[in-house]
Amino acid sequence: MQKRELGKSGLHVSAIGLGCMGLSYGYGPATGIQEATALIQRAFERGVNLFDTAEAYGPYKNEELLGEALAPFRNEVVIATKFGFNFDANGGQSGMNSRPEQIRAVAHQALKRLKTDVIDLFYQHRVDPDVPIEDVAGTVKALIAEGKVRHFGLSEAGAQTIRRAHAVQPVTALQSEYSLWWREPEQEILPVLEELGIGFVPFSPLGKGFLTGAISETTTFDSKDFRNIVPRFSADARKANQVLVDLLAEIAAHKKVTPAQVALAWLLAQKPWIVPIPGTTKLHRLDENIAAAEVELTVEDLGNIESALATIKVKGDRYPAHLQARVNR
């Protein structure tokens, strides 16, 4: 697979990474350990070297899964994980926590769970309004000096927060949602990243599955699937947003590829320092996503997509209100 540099950081990763959250958390019951391990290792065999996890995915289960699955080729992969939350006795999130002592504790615990002596990319999962970003960046800077972390990242941070953090410790990557149905980062975020030489790692590049065409207004989700509370996944919104999927299907048919591959190829075409991390629990979807790195959209293709998107208004917020308040701080 082609490699891309995340900004000007010197960190080179596969053009498409693997978001591992859904193997343990968020989309219903966790995938079995053996099946999940096989998928992670298949991704590596196919050229993926960027694997994304977080302490919050489980919590802890996803990091443990990755630690075991990637142990045979640890030195050939880039593992990204995250800090920033407290958890209650039942494993639920009980508030943000990016205090310096918490960051250090999470790093120490993540190293054990990931069976490694260094975290390649350590993200703040969400900006903590109670802790100055300079303190966060300074703590990660110290962990980098100690050899426990290699690179610093932010997730869902606003432009000014990115600038303030970057002034203390260069930010290697921002991880935020970006896709054909969520283009807000184009307004403020992408220009700042380009100016500062920061890479961009879009999560949910397939619209949490919607852009694959496999979800319709009649689809029902598992009771533990967080899409049940996402306004954009209400039946009415899915019905209204089907027009976007139809557009992708039309373009895909013309290119003899799949809608998901068009969606990922579109992201890759936006900037050379963008590296999407689609997640999946299915081997055939993994292969489909990886193959998107070979799909080339022409200038004409991109122009046609842009013209068509200008006529489509996506319905529904991407988060319920209480979660939306945590982004773009």
Paired strand residues for 199: 173
165: Cα separation from own chain's centroid: 20
Catalytic residue, candidates 25, 27, 57, 123? 57
* Cα→Cα distances 310→204, 250, 265, Å: 21, 16, 19
CB atoms within 10 A of CB 250: 14
Rounded Cα distance between 117 and 9, Å, is: 21
Helix (H) or strand (E) holding 87: strand 85-87
Q: Which residue has the tokens 């219903």?
A: 28
Rounded Cα distance between 318 and 275, Å, is: 21
End-to-end Cα separation, the chain, in angstroms: 34
Alpha helices (H) in 132-211, listed in sequence order: 133-145, 159-168, 189-196
Q: Is 141 left (phi over 0), alpha (psi -120 to 50) or beta?
A: alpha
User: Which of 83, 153, 69, 173 is closest to 116 using CA atoms?
Assistant: 69
Q: Which residue has the tokens 């979660």?
A: 323
User: Which of 183, 104, 182, 114 is closest to 144 using CA atoms?
Assistant: 104
Q: Is 178 marked active-site?
A: no
Kindly list the catalytic residues.
57
